[in-house]
Amino acid sequence: MAGTADEKTTGGAASTPPAPRTLTGRAVPSAVGPADATIDTPESPAEYIGRARAKRPRIALAGPYGHPMHAVVITLPIGAWAASVVFDIIAFFVDDPSAFTLGAAVLVAIGLVGAVVAALLGFLDYSQIPAGTRARAVATVHMVANLLAMLLFTVSLVTRWFTGLDEISVPAFVISLVAMAIVGGSGALGGELAYHFGVRVADEDEQARIFGARRR
């Protein structure tokens, strides 16, 4: 009996080449799913292998098959930056805004640290997507948008520093709003990569195998 995709991996990477799968009448190396599965699709063997590779982690650090770490870590900068905007807004309506302006600056800094880690993990997934594909193009825009947001939040933090961390900085607030809007748009692209293109998402054979399984 063929092993599962997770059983064929060691530390997130394939240990031994699995049995071939049939693709439009041609045998190609299987990257996901049972070895005896067949696929009836017009895509070429190279396209299939490239799509299957995009579902796999490049190294163990990127997270195991079906559990990408980028999707986990990215919640830290998004949450921190969103909270910083809320703190900025509150600062406009209180008598002593120093606690909220300082808190906003700290949250921006925390978000930047988390964003660096998320970017490194995201690049590992990005490197698995074949060049010249639509998925790679969307991933490139997603990456550039995230880097731009990181740059803007860095500018926002520096602006706060020179204005005074205990004082309201309207320019820093506006920059953060623009950066947050970019993060939102980039997040939509990230969702498209996962839910439309299936990047780092378990293949349908694996989904079918575990979807109705009861937790022990």
Question: Looking at residues 202-213, what average pLDDT do you find?
Answer: 76
Tally: H helices and E strands in the chain: 7, 5
**pLDDT computed for residue 164 by the predictor:** 95
Average pLDDT for the chain: 82
10 Å Cβ neighbour count for 10?
10
**CA quadruple 22, 15, 10, 197: dihedral positive or negative?**
negative
Q: What is the mean pLDDT of residues 44-64?
A: 78
The pairing of strands 26-29 and 20-23 is antiparallel
Map residue 166 onto helix, strand or coil. Answer: coil
- Can you name the residues that pair with 39 across neighbouring β-strands? 23
- DSSP-derived secondary structure letter, 54: T
Cα separation, 171 vs 71, whole angstroms? 31
Average pLDDT on 71-100 reads 96
* Per-residue pLDDT at 216: 59
Which is more confident, 212 or 38?
Answer: 212
Domain residue spans of the chain? 6-53, 69-195
Residue 41 has pLDDT above 90, yes or no: no
Instruction: Specify the amino acid at residue 42.
Output: P
- Alpha carbon distance 117, 135 (integer Å): 22
Q: Tell me the C-alpha distance between 52 and 14, whole Å.
A: 12
Here the tokens at position 159 are 């602006």
Q: Is the pLDDT of residue 111 over 60?
A: yes
Given this model, what pLDDT does residue 144 score? 97
In this prediction, residue 58 has a pLDDT band, given cuts at 50, 70 and 90, of confident
